[in-house]
Structure 1
């Protein structure tokens, strides 16, 4: 089994290139800084840095929506990245090939920290086929979450 789950902040905006095949495929590369659960002796957090690669639509998604500093979660697999340079010196590395990539913070939270997200000022949610349905109002900022909905009390629940 080869499965990796990471959550961290992007160290740079994704860079996308396209394969040279008959049907070009997007290949996005970006860095992810993942904080370790302990700190260094100096009190600074200890961080691991990973190279992430995403292909196809996932690569295009990363290019369009991911920005340096954003908190994201990645589910993927490890892939060896070994090569030999011009001087015949062997280099060894490991990349994470993303199978899933998700936002791990709200858009509002990212923007409050100064991360400029794509389409920041012109977001319009998809309303399905009915174009006459009004878009949800942006007057109430919920930070990307739904409002608290009162629930009925049920004293018969065992928890």
Structure 2
């Protein structure tokens, strides 16, 4: 059997980090994933997919992702159901993430500020070519 999901989208709100009674980290967030086609009005619809992340990846996701962050998720699809207090059966479909990729550099999309550039950095982008002799190349 194959149950593999790969998604790229933006978070609709900040991840919510919690811990189980045994101290295992778990976080959840919703990923807005654009559809490939446009609707009759020429607009691109999106699907809003619930994602659950466990352990170290959960802590990293909660620390580095925020509302609007672009993220890639690889995992498996899981469905579950329960009976609510009104006696109705509620069905939930979610992605259990095994890998989460942060697809934007830190500080983009209105988040934290960019770190100042080091003036001693020989690879800083000042628009000039870098002078490296063939003797300095390892190959």
Q: TM-score, normalised by structure 2?
A: 0.79
SS of aligned partner of 2:87:
coil
SS of aligned partner of 1:87:
coil
**In structure 1, what is the equivalent of residue 63 of structure 2?**
64
The count of aligned residue pairs is: 124
> 5 Å matches for 1:125-144?
137=121, 140=124
**In structure 2, what is the equivalent of residue 151 of structure 1?**
none
Q: TM-score, normalised by structure 1?
A: 0.69
Change (3 A) 1:76 1:86: same
**What is the distance in 2 between the residues matched to 1:138 and 1:19?**
47
**What is the distance in 2 between the residues matched to 1:44 and 1:106?**
28
SS of aligned partner of 1:81:
strand
**In structure 1, what is the equivalent of residue 12 of structure 2?**
11
**What is the distance in 1 between the residues matched to 2:72 and 2:97?**
10
Instruction: List alignment gaps of at least 5 residues for structure 2.
Output: 126-139
**What is the distance in 2 between the residues matched to 1:122 and 1:106?**
11
Residues 61-104 of structure 1, C-alpha deviations (whole Å, 9 max, x = no match)? 00100111111100000111311101110011201011000022
**In structure 2, what is the equivalent of residue 102 of structure 1?**
101
Instruction: List alignment gaps of at least 5 residues for structure 1.
Output: 124-133, 142-159
**What is the distance in 1 between the residues matched to 2:85 and 2:29?**
25
**In structure 1, what is the equivalent of residue 30 of structure 2?**
31
SS of aligned partner of 2:36:
strand
Q: Which is worse superposed, 39-48 or 9-18?
A: 39-48
Change (3 A) 1:86 1:75: same
